[in-house]
């Protein structure tokens, strides 16, 4: 059974993330979307809120082999715990590549048996990041089409309050 973990801050989960997830869900038997619980990043959304939004997205997209969870500490330890042999990441631009290149080297050092698989961003979403969504939403712009439809109303209200 090929199990993959798709880790990230997902603060919040966007349709760019969804695109990567669709590719991964088609390729692996089981995919865990894992929210990184890292208070040093000062996220806008709590881990519980982020997992809840991802759960809603999984249900609304009808994914049968995707689950949401969260982790703190080393990703390779979490991967081992859930039996994942693969890590999924998305690449938008050269800046992502440099960062991912370093992280991959560290993860290989920590656990050489775990491989990372990368999906290129859909060009239509290559500009899209969680921080774009937060900024647009906080300034009252439309985030429709940038986040999964099932989370749109919740995010719109929540970000408007955040301002």
> Which of the stretches 11-19, 57-65, 67-75, 136-144 binds ligand ADP when contact is defined by CB under 6 A?
11-19
Residues 41-100 that bind ligand ADP (CB under 6 A): 89-90, 92, 96
Q: Which of 54, 75, 87, 125 binds ligand ADP (CB under 6 A)?
A: 125
Buried b vs exposed e over 97-107: b needs ≥16 C-beta within 10 Å? eeeeeeebeeb
Query: Measured from the CB of residue 38, what is the shortest distance to ligand ADP in angstroms?
Result: 8
* Closer of 90 and 148 to ligand ADP (Cβ): 90
CB of 75 to ligand ADP, least distance (A): 9
Instruction: Give the shortest CB-156-to-ligand ADP separation in angstroms.
Output: 19
Nearer to ligand ADP, 1 or 49 (CB): 49
Q: Does 9 bind ligand ADP (CB under 6 A)?
A: yes
Cα gap 160→75, rounded to integer Å: 32
Distances (CA, A) of 88 to 5, 31, 60, 133, 135: 6, 9, 22, 22, 26
41 part of the active site: yes
**Is there a contact between 113 and 80 (Cβ–Cβ < 8 Å)?**
no
Cα separation, 33 vs 52, whole angstroms: 12
């Amino acid at each position: 059974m090929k199990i993959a973990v798709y880790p990230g801050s997902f603060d919040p989960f966007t349709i760019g993330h969804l695109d990567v997830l669709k590719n991964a869900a088609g390729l692996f038997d089981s995919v865990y979307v894992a929210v990184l619980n890292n208070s040093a990043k000062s996220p806008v959304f709590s881990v519980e809120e982020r997992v809840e939004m991802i759960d809603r997205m999984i249900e609304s997209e009808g994914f049968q082999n995707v689950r949401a969870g969260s982790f703190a500490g080393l990703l390779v330890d979490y991967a081992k715990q859930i039996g994942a042999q693969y890590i999924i990441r998305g690449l938008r631009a050269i800046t992502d590549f440099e960062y991912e290149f370093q992280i991959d080297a560290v993860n290989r050092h920590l656990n050489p048996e775990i491989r990372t698989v990368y999906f290129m961003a859909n060009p239509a979403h290559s500009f899209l990041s969680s921080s774009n969504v937060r900024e647009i939403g906080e300034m009252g712009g439309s985030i429709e089409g940038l986040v999964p439809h099932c989370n749109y109303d919740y995010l719109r209200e929540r970000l408007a309050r955040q301002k």
